[in-house]
Amino acid sequence: MSLILMGVSVLVVLFIIRKIYIKNWSKGIEADIEMSENVTFPGEELILTETIVNRKWLPLPMVIVKFEVDRSFLFGNEVMNTNVSDHCYKSDVFSLLFYQKIVRKIPLVCTRRGYFTIDNINLVSTDVMMDKTLATVVRLDRTIMVYPEEISSQQAEIPYRRIMGTVLTRQYTYEDPFEFRGIRQYETYDSLKDVNWTASAKTGELKVNVHDYTAARQVCILLNLEKDGIWEYEELKEKAISMACSLACRLTRQAVSVSLLSNGRDVITGKELVMEAGCDESHRTAIMEGLARIDLKKQPDDFENVIEEHIKELGDGVIYCMISTSRREALQRYYAGIAAESEGSIWIYPCHKGFDERFDYVDKSEIVRWEVEYE
């Protein structure tokens, strides 16, 4: 009889403990993830810091911490604790005593360009009888910006030198409004914006300011991310983005003003990428961030329709550098039209070995073929 009562008492105690555990296991538990850097380049190693805290008297024999990241993330250790599909689900098992904090640092490498988020952490446990699954979610707002891969100097050298050559040969073609040389008599072909009203009032005749000549140091990079016919070459699009980024950075470091127009859509806003001209460090950073946030899964519109209005606003003297794998007839004709108004413009054509390079409506001297190896 006493054994029966003892058994019943044990079951009652276990039942009470189980109820207490189920009710309180998630109370006072905290989990967080931090990255050593929020911005990086492909192939660079980061440190992911995983923290879990139990702020109560109840110990937690087993807690599984799970979170989702892009499958392009490679963890430096404990790779067996990841499940890969379209995303990577990282899982770690912790055993927490009462009022204990555990911190783990995990090496992490981002292998491709993009804008990535970690929105939540899933915490999973079981009750004391290990027959009931318990789960809760901790909300997060963590982002990682992976800039486009840097193109080697050798690969970017030919288009870079051609653009800079055009910039330098134009150095005496365009007036610089900030370089004042003197005042002269107004002529009928002069613009009213150049009239020096103070000098005109003193002399009683219209006088205009005369400016020195300087280089037309503005380049517009046209990044077209349409597919080439029925074929989709994502690796070529990624290389095109990298080339646009590398050229923009190199040119701005030489005090060349760079604007960028693309039909690639932003992963957050869904809008096309439009960057006004600039050449300082903050402008370079803005270009890298804009290119990092392009989502190739979002279908781009026809390139001409996207950039037409922006092209009109650029005015004269701009050197165009178009980067496009697509060679459809309408695009060739459009490029030929804007290039005719801007001598020295080029078309960079990323392609694989064996790709057809026929351009029926564009002067071949304007084409820079860039052969990319298959990955």
Lowest mean pLDDT among 44-53, 85-94, 350-359: 85-94
In terms of pLDDT, which residue wins out, 137 or 374? 137
Residue 360, pLDDT above cutoff 90: no
The predicted pLDDT at position 334 comes to 93
Q: What is the 3-state secondary structure (H, E, C) of the chain?
A: CHHHHHHHHHHHHHHHHHHHHHHHCCCCEEEEEEECCCEECCCCEEEEEEEEEECCCCCEEEEEEEEEEECCEEECCCHHHEEECCEEEEEEEEEECCCEEEEEEEEEEECCCEEEEEEEEEEEEECCCCCCEEEEEEEEEEEEEECCCCCCHHHHHHHHHHHHHHHHHCCCCEEEEEEEEEEEECCCCCCHHHECHHHHHHHCCCEEEEEEEECCCEEEEEECCCCECCECCHHHHHHHHHHHHHHHHHHHHCCCEEEEEEEEEECCCCCEEEEEEECCHHHHHHHHHHHHCEECCCCCCCHHHHHHHHHHHHCCCCEEEEECCCCCHHHHHHHHHHHHCCCCCEEEEEECCCCCCCCCCCCHHHEEEEECCCC
The predicted pLDDT at position 10 comes to 63
**% of the chain residues with pLDDT over 90:** 36
Residue 201, pLDDT above cutoff 90: no
pTM of the predicted model over 0.85: no
Write out pLDDT tens, residues 320-352: 999 999 988 999 999 999 988 888 899 999 988
Write out pLDDT tens, residues 186-196: 765 566 667 77
Write out pLDDT tens, residues 161-181: 888 888 777 654 555 554 555
Residue 80, pLDDT above cutoff 50: no
